[in-house]
Structure 1
């Protein structure tokens, strides 16, 4: 009779495997991926630590762990990353939202008078994380979200519809300001900022993300200059 692995056993085995592959958050990754397969959050995993899993569940999980061992980011495997307490869908066409980028949302909210019609321009929107977080925080925001990548804009538009704020956000394919018209109360952006010579030194996970969203030119400040010059 084939042995049935429990949730706890699989987490422990997978965490050890991922640690050996160089994953810095091996146990967390193992938990998140198993939770994704089973439709459980991390607390529920531990409440069901001794529950045996079916062969189908184990095989699906093994596939995810194998891909994570090849250093594919967890967010690309699950197709989602939390940003400003919102579930943001992501794929290989967009940068995975970082927690530190929430600072941009905080700063815009500090600068703008609440509950007052406000036009916001988000340059390089990617997954739409910043624009959509702002829209969810204040229904009076009217946001234009710009990106040069049509694939990224498809992801952002899908996120807007999923979060129910697509009526607040217009999406525009544009190289920064090139196709932008009108005036805005706030312009925000999280542009590429990594020096080109450092691109080859990035972790394998970051190296999987689109170079278009990372490469900031020779000194990492190329996009900042372009934005300020315009």
Structure 2
């Protein structure tokens, strides 16, 4: 059987974007090119494609089936111990890189790193741009932390694959950083309501520890906002990814704490509120 014949028979089972990603991952070529010059499938390839289809029909995310996901132009290894990187988080990485380069910041923390997609994307992009030597010729230091040791094992694989310098810390939020202080803290914390997770068939394969933000989805964000102030330098900045329905809650919490100034609200590529950038209130 040729690939184009299999695609014609099975394309209705997939989202088009997922089908393109699967074909590119398996054959290392774009779907448009393969349909023009369609290869004959080996028995192994045919069996693998059918296995993917059956797992996909059970609503297992394609990223877990293939063991990889693309983020910020880079490919990351993923499994069910880490959250699948979302395109909506890429804008947070863009803002972090801009802040780091503009201010020549050196000490960066990715809090709750999961697969390491944020920390590694920052490190790799700055390395490409020659920004690894920053203020006062100090070498850039990037830390990535997570409460899940299994997640850190995945992150370690990605660090080694991308050949960047990122130091891993196994800790619950800031508990492992009692003697550390940072220029930039960037975090994509769990912010999904528990009831939503329980009723979602699309999230059942992803680790609950990386999703669940408590009953109201705000537990981890609240803890981070309350604690991060003590781990930032005077000119430091924190970037927090949030749910698109959490802007008002974040505004109320920031106002009540009286330790931050809002530098910028961030929208993702679909125009939804996706994050906030805060700096320390020095008044």
Answer with 101-110 or 36-45: which moved more.
36-45
Partner of 2:240: none
Aligned in 2, Cα 1:117/1:29: closer, same or farther, shift over 3 Å? closer
Any gaps of 5 or more consecutive residues in structure 2? Answer: 133-139, 228-283
Partner of 1:207: 204
Any gaps of 5 or more consecutive residues in structure 1? Answer: 20-24
Q: Name the CA distance, whole Å, in 1 between partners of 2:9 and 2:17.
A: 13
* 8 Å Cα contact 2:197-2:203 kept in structure 1: no
SS for the counterpart of 1:160 is helix
Q: Name the CA distance, whole Å, in 2 between partners of 1:54 and 1:112.
A: 48
Partner of 1:11: 7
Partner of 2:32: 43
* 8 Å Cα contact 1:146-1:173 kept in structure 2: yes
* 8 Å Cα contact 1:128-1:145 kept in structure 2: yes
The offset of 1:174, in angstroms, is 0.2
* 8 Å Cα contact 2:23-2:30 kept in structure 1: no
1:1-230 map, 5 Å: 5-16=1-12, 18=13, 25=15, 27-49=16-38, 51-113=39-101, 116=104, 118-139=106-127, 140=132, 141-165=140-164, 168-180=165-177, 181-202=179-200, 204-230=201-227
Instruction: Name the structure where strand makes up a greater proportion of residues.
Output: 2
1:11-66 per-position Cα deviation (integer Å, ceiling 9, x unaligned): 121222x25xxxxx1x33334334433343323322323x3323332122111111
Root mean square deviation of aligned Cα: 1.8
The offset of 1:117, in angstroms, is 5.3
Q: Name the CA distance, whole Å, in 2 between partners of 1:6 and 1:129.
A: 35
Aligned in 2, Cα 1:153/1:47: closer, same or farther, shift over 3 Å? same
Q: Given the two structures, how large is their TM-score scaled by the length of structure 1?
A: 0.87
The offset of 1:197, in angstroms, is 1.5
The offset of 1:115, in angstroms, is 9.1
Answer with 98-107 or 123-132: which moved more.
98-107
* 8 Å Cα contact 2:105-2:183 kept in structure 1: no
Partner of 1:22: none
Aligned in 2, Cα 1:117/1:110: closer, same or farther, shift over 3 Å? closer
Q: Given the two structures, how large is their TM-score scaled by the length of structure 2?
A: 0.71
SS for the counterpart of 1:91 is coil
Q: How many residues align?
A: 215
